[in-house]
Amino acid sequence: MRCAGSIYGVKRSHSAYRGSPCPPSPHHVPAPRPHPRVFGALAALAIGTVALALAFGPRQGALFLTGGALGMALYHAAFGFTSAWRVFILEGRGRGLRAQMVLLAVAVLLFFPVLASGTLFGEEVRGNVSPLSTSVIVGAFMFGIGMQMGGGCASGTLFTAGGGNARMLVTLLFFIIGSVLATINFDWWVALPSFQPVTLVSLGAPVGIAVSLALFAAIAALTVVIEKRRNGGKLEQAPPSPRHGLQRYLRGPWPLVFGAVALAILNFVTLALAGRPWGITSAFALWGAKAAQLVGIDPTAWAYWQMPGNARALSESVFADITSVMNFGIIAGAMLAAALAGRFAPSLRIPLRSLVAAVIGGLLLGYGARIAYGCNIGAYFSGIASGSLHGWLWAVAAFAGNIVGVKLRPFFFAERRGAVAGGDGA
């Protein structure tokens, strides 16, 4: 018997635990039994951390470990962007969106004072601040459609692929292909009409924080009004957890708000270690470009790879790239979380229409993220945490794309009302 959209028989709209076997009772949790995959994932994290520290310096090792913690937090909290936006669009349920506002609020409180000073622990730091451009609007809209077609965002694709979701490996592959394709004519996109970057941090940290918190509160309040109006005056409640105490935080599921706070803190740790916030998708373009070189294609002829930072990344080992190392850590951390939860069970049975959606969605995700200066992490989360108005522009355009993507989903997926949040990577 399969219990769709639930954890241990307890209904839950987040996807990482979808399709788990139902236990005899929703309140009965078997005694934990260490699985070899747990030790394998722990070994991968430990060996990776030490090897990177020895070969590329302690910072790379620490960033890999931070990625591992992000992967665990994403998986155990089943922290979604794709599914949260979809259930709000289809059913007006806003619990996931409100958790995102908590995520952004904590991040802003941590980031703005540091970014205003320009240093953290004596080291220079900078935010993810990009122009308000045509390419952001078009790219984020494409990304939004891709979220619903591919079944996940950037973070969701990584943590569910690491958790054993074979379909998301397909999305990831075409995410990479789409990313490198966008670098071919990246210079054309950035030449389109745009406004200079604007950051709320320039108003001063206190004012910028106050404006940001007011916006987050207004969005959260709006979701409450809409949810009550569309659901008989009721708000969705967090499901009861089948685990308690330390077991809950080791094996999941985590409270959604706890996951939001953890992700915000870990993004701040990334800022401290890397000198800039968390990002994901620039690594996908790098992986694709290196793969292109292996088959005889020369990406150095494209303007994107002639930019100093990109040219250096392409010439160096992928393990010297901060974003790549953190992505590898996210995958390893999600594998560990899935093993601890007893949910690592990959299946290669992917319906044809779902496979086609993964291909199309991955291409849209990759291409859109590159021309929009980032994804749901680099542009939305880290952009807004940096006070950048391009992060807000990205969010509006991506949400519009999600509306279109939700309308396209019935052509590729068989979904029932009330189960619309399941089956995704985010």
CA distance 380 to 385: 8
Burial class (CB in 10 A: 0-12, 13-18, 19+), 246: exposed
Quick one: average pLDDT of 52-66? 97
Separation CA 102–CA 269 (nearest Å): 18
State the pTM of this model: 0.89
Beta strands in 30-182 (DSSP E): 119-120, 123-124, 132-133
Instruction: Give the Cα separation of 2 and 22 in Å (integer).
Output: 6
Q: Residue 178 CA to chain centroid, in angstroms?
A: 17
CA distance 40 to 244: 25
Q: What is the pLDDT of residues 65-98, one digit of tens each?
A: 999 999 999 999 988 899 999 999 999 999 999 9
State the virtual CA torsion across 177, 178, 183, 185 in degrees, nearest 10. 130
Q: Return the H-helix or E-strand segment holding 149.
A: helix 134-150
pLDDT band at 147 (very low <50, low <70, confident <90, very high): very high
Which helix (H) or strand (E) element contains residue 110?
Answer: helix 95-117
Whether pLDDT at 2 is above 70:
no
CA angle 184, 185, 190 (to 5 degrees): 135
Determine the Cα–Cα distance for residues 140 and 390; give it in Å rounded to an integer: 10
Residue 73's pLDDT is 95
Residues 160-219 pLDDT 10s: 888 778 899 999 999 999 999 999 999 999 999 999 999 999 999 999 999 999 999 999
pLDDT digits (tens, 9 = 90+) for 38-55: 888 899 999 999 999 999
Q: Is the pLDDT of residue 26 over 60?
A: no
In angstroms and rounded to an integer, the radius of gyration of the C-alpha atoms of the chain is 20
Q: What is the mean pLDDT of the chain?
A: 89
Tell me which of 224 and 414 has the higher pLDDT.
224
Q: Could you give the C-alpha distances from 251 to 72, 244, 247, 254, 404, in angstroms and in order?
A: 10, 10, 6, 8, 36
Supply the pLDDT for residue 33: 58
Share of the chain above pLDDT 90, in %: 74
- Do residues 149 and 367 make contact, with C-beta atoms less than 8 angstroms apart? no
- The candidate with the shortest Cα–Cα distance to 158, out of 364, 410, 334, is 334
pLDDT at 5 > cutoff 70: no
How would you label 136-174 residue by residue, b for 16+ Cβ within 10 Å and e otherwise? bbbbbbbbbbbbbbbbbbbbbbbbbbbbbbebbbbbbbb
C-alpha distances in angstroms, 215 versus 210, 222, 268?
9, 11, 21
Backbone angles phi, psi at 195, to 5 degrees: -110, 155
Query: Any idea which of 61-65, 150-154, 179-183 has the lowest mean pLDDT?
Result: 150-154
Q: Which helix (H) or strand (E) holds 274?
A: helix 256-274
